[in-house]
Amino acid sequence: MELPVELLRQGITRGSVLLSDCFEDIDHAKFFAVIGIYEDRIAGFFFINSRIHPIIQAKPKMFAMQYLLRKNDYDFLRYDSFLGANELQTRLISVLIDSMQNGQTSIVGQLTEKDLSAVLEACRNSELFTAKEKRQFFY
C-alpha cells in the first residue's frame, strides 16, 4: 500500500532519522538525521557513521561537531555511532518523499530529545554555519 504524500510529509520532522540508499556518491545505505526544515527543504542530512574519519579528526572545528549516539538509545544502531553535524546539506522535501515512495528511503527512528537539543545547541554555536543557516535551520 502506497502511503499518501501528506502522511509521508508529516513523518519528516526535526530529529527524524532515516535510512536511504539514494546518495549518488555513496555505495551503500546510510542513516542520516533531519535537523531542520525551512519552507520546502529539509536540512541536516547529518550522516551517522560508526567511526570518525581521520580527515575530520585533524580538523578541530569539524571534529567538535561529531556527536556520540549510544546504541542503547536507538534500536536501529548496531553499535555506538557518531552523528556528523559538520556539513549542512539540504534537500527538497518532495525529493525525499519520492525516494520514500519508491522504497529507497525509510524513517527508522527519532533522535532522543536530549541528543537533538545538544546537537542543535552545538550547531547554533558552531563557526561552521552561517548566521542565515543557523536562523533557517537550527532555531
What residue segments make up the domains of the chain, in order of their start? 5-137
Return the DSSP state at 14: T
**pLDDT at residue 103, as a whole number:** 87
List, for residues 82-124, the tens digit of each pLDDT value: 999 999 989 899 888 888 888 889 899 999 999 999 999 999 9
**pLDDT at residue 65, as a whole number:** 97
Is the pLDDT assigned to residue 5 strictly greater than 80? no
Tell me yes or no: is domain 5-137 CATH 3.30.300.30.
Answer: no
Give the global pTM.
0.88
